[in-house]
Amino acid sequence: MSDLALAGLSDSLLFGAVLLYTLAMLGFAGEQASRRSHRVSAAAGERSSARESAAARTRMMAGAGGPALAAPAATPPPPPAQRAPSRAGAIGLALTGIGAVVHVGSVITRGFAAHRVPWGNMYEFSSAVALCAVVIFLVLVAGRRADRALGAFVMVPVVLYLGLAGTVLYTAAGPLVPALDSYWIKIHVFAAVLSSGAFLLSGMVALLYLLRCRHDAQVAAGRTPRFPLSMGSALPAAPALDRVTYGVIAFAFPIWTFAIIAGAIWAEAAWGRYWGWDPKETWSFITWVLYAGYLHARATAGWKGTKAAWIAVAAAGALIVDYYVVNIFVVGFHSYA
């Protein structure tokens, strides 16, 4: 097959993946809707249970540092509302899986079309980052470390992101500028792609955690949350979201550190200095410092919970600045594509 045909195939596959992800998103959303209607019927119970858990949280905070809570709650919490098993959600998950396979196909054919690693410009990079985010999400769901109810919320940004990548950032397959012609592109950029996919996913989950916390606080106060907070009832419980955020960041942070160090080694070979505060380097550093802050915050009294989640969101924001604002608006050594 000619390079041009391969590149065309890659584009079609990406389009197919976006289509599948969109359908998956609808599937997940269908499941959400059925769950929510299920919930509404048990609204009273839910509200009281949410109030209960909020009260328990307050107790825990008050008791932090003291002996573990031994006294049982006055009334045993009602059993959690049975999650309505929905075929729509399972279909959504299956479609996400197929979409990821098609997406892998798109990335690989792109690499063959350009005769190099498929992350040489911003379009390819964005596609690969989105793929990593989707795959990590699927791995989490398969390992029962994340609820597939997150699917709808995760797929929306993925679809938007890929849509932007495929239109605004699209670059035809071609060779690399000489500075990128090094085996370090395989190592440095792959590590950056993988950790970025994870970081963007964690940023999304951190946002959902914040939404869930607000939702819970409103329910505990006896108010009915309005849109968008009303979506909170379809989300996994706040501690579960917090755990997913932390787990994904703990996975990605060493990889990001490695990506920066590999980049420094490459910069030393290409430009004669391992660190020069180029805008890209500066924002990678800012991102790194913010994630380091997140990991410390999560172990610091008074910074756990929503404050830490806001840091995770800010760090993901810094990452986006690192890739898009710096590449497009700031001229530096990394301005390639």
Partner 1 sequence: MTVTSDREATRLSTAPEPVAPAPARRQSFLAPWRRAWRQLTSMRTALLLLFLLALASVPGSFLPQRGLNPVAVKQYFAEHSTLAPVLDRVYAFDVFAAPWFAAVYLLLFVSLVGCLSSRLRLHAKALTTAPPAVPRVLSRMPSAERWETDAEAGAVLEQVRTVLRRGRWRVVVRSDGGHEDADALSAEKGYLRESGNLLFHISLVVLLVGIAMGGLLGFQGTVLVKEGDGFANTVLAYDDIKPGRRFDPSRLVPFSFELDDFQATYGDDGKALTFLAQIRYAAGPADGQRPYALRVNHPLVVDGAKTYLLGHGYAPKVLVVDREGNELSQTVACLPQGPTFLSTCTIKVPDAAGEQLAFEGVFTPTTVQDPVNGQVASVYPAPENPALTVLGYRGDLGIDDGRAASVYNLEDRTRLTPIGDGRTPQKLSPGQTWDLPGGGSLTFVETTEWATFQVTQDPGKVVALVAGIGMVVGLCLSLSVRRRRVWLRLSPAGADRPPGRTVVEIAGLARTNSEAFAGEFARLVDRVRSTAPPRTPSEEPA
Q: List for the chain the helix, strand, coil content (%; round to 5).
A: 75, 0, 25
Map tokens 């029962």 to a residue: 144
What residues contact residue 142 under an 8 Å CB cut-off, 6+ apart? none
Q: Please give the torsion angle defined by the CA atoms of residues 290, 271, 116 and 95, in that order, rounded to the nearest 10 degrees.
A: 10
What residues contact residue 157 under an 8 Å CB cut-off, 6+ apart? 200, 204
DSSP 8-state code for residue 178: G
Is 115 a binding residue for partner 1 by CB under 8 A? The answer is no
| CA atoms within 13 Å, Cβ hemisphere of 303 | 11
* CA nearest neighbour of 77 among 99, 118, 48, 35: 48
In the chain, the amino acid numbered 319 is L
**Residue with smaller CB distance to partner 1, 78 or 254:** 254
Q: Nearest distance from residue 13's CB to partner 1, in Å?
A: 25
Distance CA 89, CA 120 (A): 35
**Residue with smaller CB distance to partner 1, 93 or 290:** 290
**Residue with smaller CB distance to partner 1, 67 or 76:** 67
* CA nearest neighbour of 51 among 87, 84, 67, 75: 75
Q: Nearest distance from residue 146's CB to partner 1, in Å?
A: 12
- Among positions 45-74, residues that touch partner 1 (CB under 8 A) are 65, 68, 70
Omega cis (within 30) before 228: yes
User: What phi and psi values does residue 76 have, to the nearest 5 degrees?
Assistant: -65, 135
Is 271 a binding residue for partner 1 by CB under 8 A? The answer is yes
Q: Which one of 88, 187, 286, 320 is in contact with partner 1 (CB under 8 A)?
A: 286
Sketch the per residue contact string, 171 through 210, with partner 1: x for CB under 8 A, - otherwise: ---xx-xxx-xx-x--------------------------
Q: Which one of 72, 76, 79, 302 is in contact with partner 1 (CB under 8 A)?
A: 302
Q: Which one of 15, 170, 274, 324 is in contact with partner 1 (CB under 8 A)?
A: 274
Total residues binding partner 1 (CB under 8 A): 55
Distance CA 129, CA 121 (A): 12
**Residue with smaller CB distance to partner 1, 17 or 252:** 252
Structural Rg of the chain based on CA atoms: 22
**Using CB under 8 A, which of the segments 123-131, 160-168, 203-211, 269-277 binds partner 1?**
269-277
Q: Nearest distance from residue 71's CB to partner 1, in Å?
A: 12
Q: Which one of 12, 48, 293, 310 is in contact with partner 1 (CB under 8 A)?
A: 293
**Residue with smaller CB distance to partner 1, 161 or 266:** 266
Is 269 a binding residue for partner 1 by CB under 8 A? The answer is yes
Q: Which one of 73, 221, 289, 328 is in contact with partner 1 (CB under 8 A)?
A: 289
Map tokens 């911003």 to a residue: 122
**Residue with smaller CB distance to partner 1, 168 or 277:** 277
* CA nearest neighbour of 198 among 124, 240, 250: 250
Map tokens 């998950």 to a residue: 93
**Using CB under 8 A, which of the segments 5-13, 216-224, 229-237, 277-285 binds partner 1?**
277-285
DSSP 8-state code for residue 295: H
For binding to partner 1 (CB under 8 A), which residues are involved?
65, 68, 70, 145, 174-175, 177-179, 181-182, 184, 247, 250-251, 253-254, 257-258, 261, 264-266, 268-279, 282-283, 285-286, 289-290, 292-293, 295-297, 299-303, 318, 326, 330, 332
